[in-house]
Amino acid sequence: MTHYDEMMAKKNQIMHSAIGIDFDAFEEDGISFDYERMMKEAGYTIEELQDIQAEFFVGNTPIIELTNLTALARKLAPEGYGARIFIKDEATNPSGSFKARRASIAVHEARKRGYKGLIAATSGNYGAGVASLAAKAGLECIVVQETYDSRHVGQPEIVEKARACEAYGAEVLQLSVGPELFYKFLQLLEDTGYFNASLYTPFGIAGVETLGYEIAMQMRERYGKDPEAVVVTNAGGGNLTGTARGLIKAGALNTRIVAASVDLSGLHMASDNDFNRKSFTTGHTGFGVPFCTNPDRSDVPRSAARPLRYIDEYYTIRQGEVFYMTEALANLEGLERGPAGNTSLAVAFSLAQKMKEDEFILVQETEYTGAGKHLNPQLSFARENGIDIFFGDPKDEVPGKNIILPKDPSMIEAQVLDVTGLKRSYLRNQINKKGSKDFSEREMEYLREEMKVNQTELDKLLQEL
């Protein structure tokens, strides 16, 4: 057995020591586990979460109505259509993104349990969030990043985020693409005894619940109603899960939860060849689809991010359309924001044209931009890696070969992603895990919860497989 195999064999034991959650306690019959009990026992009330985040100056971010983008959408929409577009400006959090919400609860939990430091395996904003708030709490922080391809070329957005982590005093370990990341992450957890600030623990997801809760409360206070739709950029699923749970806890049961991802179909996220042929490091289908269909692929035994439980609709958008919308937000609204939130914004701009004028569509997060995160270095890096960039019809864009900026805003059009197909893939994975379709009554109940379906719909999916 290699050292890698030995480390993988110990992963659950290491995770238990590094998080303090006995995931086995929530396991039930066969494939099922008690998700809600896990969230309840390891989580906090909304009021407790808000108190913790207030200590770290996190949350209570403003909602901004994008009047000029709404006006543009109405010019392109049929008469009487063109919903009002809003954003929740999460860039005002200490580290510049909504990930500070997740980080605040992880840091609080680590401090409460007496850990000396935290480790986060992330290439993105979450690392900066953990580093920022660990500094405030007086705790050590290590961030492990998947940064380089085999040529030792780093994606500019990831390199920029490493700079941000280091600015907050964190030690950043930069690795090449592949299985090395999780192996090194486990090794560091075992060697240091630090807290695992995983994105996928109940603590991390609970931290995002305040975001959904705030959306409902702020919209009711200012406009007297909940938004008809909230658009969430979807990658690992924690952003969507936490936001949806917060909306539900606020009683916003009729608000549609719309997932949005950049279409990177055809590119493999663990491929050395493909690693630098994409211009988005998160919020894309390379994460969004596999984490929907197999949520427990994360770095904890049971992921608290379960996006299929909450998604009502799922849309993809192309790289060029997101870059165009990034520029439009800056030029029309005077807001320069980063790529992840603009993924949802591009989808919202398209969907708003199909909604009525008196309806509200809200983009639930923004992020900071600058240096490697900005669209200009992203596009320059794409050219250096042989990607063709031009204005034209985004429908002709091929991920990894070109980026097509729409020559007219009317060409920005979100594409429907088949949620039923995702549910079918999820169910296939569960059948493979169990080894049969012979599910117990509790397993059937669990599957209905996981896929947000009734028994008739579940029976149909089972018959199709």
**What's CA 464's distance to the chain center, in Å?**
30
405 close to 390: Cβ distance less than 8 angstroms: yes
Residue 2 has pLDDT above 80, yes or no: no
pLDDT confidence bin for 9, thresholds 50/70/90: confident
Least confident of 67-81, 271-285, 308-322: 271-285
Backbone φ and ψ of 463, nearest 5°: -65, -40
Q: What is the pLDDT of residues 139-165, one digit of tens each?
A: 999 999 988 888 988 888 888 888 999
Q: What is the mean pLDDT of residues 230-258?
A: 97
342 token code pair? 């603009």
> Is a pLDDT exceeding 80 seen at residue 454?
yes
**pLDDT one-digit tens code per residue, 409-424:** 999 999 999 999 999 9
> Is the pTM above the cut of 0.75?
yes
User: Which of 279 and 426 is assigned the larger pLDDT?
Assistant: 426
Q: Could you confirm whether domain 53-96+205-416 is CATH 3.30.70.3270? A: no
Asked if residue 268 has pLDDT above 70, the reply is: yes
CB-CB contact of 184 with 392 (8 Å): no
Q: Where are the beta strands (DSSP E) in 318-408?
A: 360-363, 388-392, 402-406
Could you give the CA distance from residue 354 to residue 74 in angstroms, rounded to a whole number? 10
The confidence score (pLDDT) of residue 1 equals 60
According to DSSP, the β-strands at 229-233 and 256-262 are parallel
pLDDT at 123 over 80: no
pLDDT tens track for 44-79: 999 999 999 999 999 999 999 999 999 999 999 999
Query: Is the pLDDT score of 12 beyond 80?
Result: no
- Residue 168 has a pLDDT of 95
What gap in Å lies between CA 145 and CA 159, rounded to an integer?
9
Within 10 angstroms of residue 371's Cβ, the number of other Cβ atoms is 14
Rounded Cα distance, 399 and 381, in Å: 14
pLDDT in tens, 94-120: 999 999 999 999 999 999 999 999 999
Question: Is residue 442 scored above 80 in pLDDT?
Answer: yes
How many CB atoms lie under 10 A from the CB of residue 193?
12
